[in-house]
A and B are shown apart, each in its own frame.
Chain A
Amino acid sequence: MKTNRKTHRETDSRRRSLLVAVAITGGSGMAAAAFPFLSSLAPSARAKLSAAPVEVDIGDLLPGQMKIVEWRARPVWILNRTAEMLASLTEVSGRVFDPESKQKQQPENCENATRSIRPNLLVVLGVCTHFGCSPVPRFERGDGEKMPADWPGGFACQCHGATFDFSGRAFKNTLAARNLEVPPHRYLSENRLLVGENAKNIQGAKE
């Protein structure tokens, strides 16, 4: 009897290990089977290809004018800032969330006071860092464009009320906690800009 019971226990433990082994194999098989499904949801090879850089002519951009180009199906603003617009950047630096652009929202060569390669030319993704709406220009100072009286000029997002200055820095106490993203870009010549690719050896914010 005693040996018999022991055999039973041995059989049981053997069966249990087999069960565990089967469960682990089956479970990992199912996890492996889930991978292609989950991965199929990520951006496809074609989506990645169509995210190619865009070349823009900036020769006709007068001071105070803004051009919108489409890159990765999102608006990129190219603003030729006037002297007053640039002057307002130092004036508002106390009112913005991240005045020194410490968050990695721009390529290395734009980590400066104007957040740009050329001081006057702002190249920025026109996508609100709150929830992805496209803000609108509110270049006029003061309350002329339904803004508060102390508005220094910049961009305003009408979805949730976030505001940005002329270098795309987010104002404090609105919803966006990050500056507008400066996309990778480089100048091909005096009047040609390539959006979507940094100059060599420059680390971008995000790729």
Chain B
Amino acid sequence: MKTPPSEKYRSNGGLFADLLEWLDARLPLTAFWRNHFSEYRVPKNLNFWYFFGSLGLIVLSMQILTGIFLAMHYQPSAAPNADGLPAAFASVEYLMRDVNWGWLIRTTHSTGASAFFLVVYLHIFRCLLYGSYRKPRELLWIVGVLIFYLLMAEAFTGYVLPWGQMSFWAAQVITDLASAVPFFGNSLADWVRGDFSVGGATLGRFFALHVIALPLALILLIVLHLLALREVGSSHPDALSIHDPVETGEIGSIPFHPYYTVRELHAASVFFLVFFAVVFFAPEGGGTLLESENFLPADPLKTPEYIEPVWYFTPFYSMLRAMTRPLFGIDPKLLGVVSMNGAVAILFFLPWLDRSPVKSIRHRGAVFKLMLFLFVLAFLTLGFLGTKPPEHIVWGTIPGTSAAQTATFFYFFFFLSMPWWSKIVPQAPKTRNLRFK
């Protein structure tokens, strides 16, 4: 945004003020500060659910900082060292045992990955609660879903790097997803792995993606996400828009700085309190954050007895596993891959699937609340089942596979039937002025 020269910073004669004036004449410093902080207007009624965007940024910064230091010691090689251990595995052991504070940097990074997903899932849930994805924020939402995709790729490539048993077999299963593609699937899988099975070539490319390509792309998309947010403004729990001329004034807005910067800092300190309690006292999270099998070096000839992804992938993993028989002539393997990808891809269409005349859960009524509750229940059920072996029986009565199939069905039903049930809202007089425009 162009700022007239008169709005440039004027020095009052001090040394630093002179320096700032010199800089501001050559860079849009104060304009940037005004546009993005001191004069960026934010609704004044944002609640708890609105913390998770900025928390995501904080976790990202933490991951980048710890990641840089990890990369200084880590060796992306599957070749055996003098002790017969894969070099990558040995370098992570070395980091944990011999590098000063290496254990802290590493567990902060590994716990940070879980925290990132927790924060992002809550951030997405906020959008569902308050209709944040709806016009004019469709593009903001789409960029957000792209960020979610990249984040999953980033987490997965990072998970493979320690080259333990779970790393190896996760890489095996996930690169094998490519082989589900009809006709040239097997050559595609070899191309993805860079070898006829997962090995050093795979590890090398995952390292390059994890530390260079994906973080760069992530940062680019996050900048786009923030730019789009500055354009359309933040949503809020009453689901009006501060930029909508008809509705301006119904909800007051306040500058982002100092009001929200202080609030976000407070949220960040609470977050860090919980986060570092986990890092210091339960970095393995009882096998949820770091799995015990992954403390064994990768063995290409022996699959671990219980293979399960980290908790944040288990809902999608359950869907992959739930497809046990052909449907519409598609074989179960391809069907699993399609459902797993479709579960995320369907989010892109959410702004157009939702036909409700109001945005926020506060005005949407019982049907929405029930559907959202069941959706969350289905998602959590899938997540829980993904941590269990396929033959698990829920409460001793319901076979795990049937439960996962039902939950997968509901997951898709929630979105695909949304154009119909989302129209049902109470006709109370108070919703009249809040109608979605």
Contact = CB atoms under 8 A, between A and B. Distances in A.
A75 interface: yes
A7 to B, nearest CB: 39
Given A41-B194, A43-B195, A132-B176, A74 B300 contact: yes
Given A42-B190, A43-B195, A175 B336 contact: yes
B324 A173 contact: yes
A18 B321 CA distance: 54
A124 interface: no
Interface stretch (B54-62, B196-204, B416-424): B196-204
Interface string B278-290: 0000000000000
Given A74-B196, A131-B173, A175-B332, A68 B201 contact: no
Interface string B170-187: 001101110100000010
A73 B194 contact: no
Interface residues of B, number: 41
A141 interface: no
Interface in A31-87: 41-44, 47, 51, 68, 70, 72-75
Contacts, number: 102
A19 interface: no
B199 A73 contact: yes
A70 B169 contact: no
Contact of B303 (A134, A161, A175): A134
B191 A41 contact: yes
**Chain A interface residue bracket vs B:** 20 to 34
Contacts of B190: 42-43
A118 B175 CA distance: 34
Interface string B146-187: 000000000000000000000001001101110100000010
B437 interface: no
A43 B331 contact: no
A75 B301 contact: yes
B307 interface: yes
B326 interface: yes
Nearest to A181: B186
Contacts of B169: 133, 159
16 contacts: A41-B194, A43-B201, A44-B194, A47-B196, A51-B196, A72-B197, A74-B196, A133-B169, A134-B303, A136-B303, A158-B303, A159-B303, A161-B321, A161-B391, A173-B325, A175-B323
Interface of A: 41-44, 47, 51, 68, 70, 72-75, 126, 129-136, 146, 157-161, 173-177, 206
Interface of B: 169, 172-173, 175-177, 179, 186, 190-199, 201, 205, 300-303, 305-307, 320-321, 323-326, 331-333, 336, 389-391, 401
Given A73-B197, A131-B177, A133-B173, 5 more contacts: A43-B193, A73-B195, A75-B302, A136-B303, A175-B332
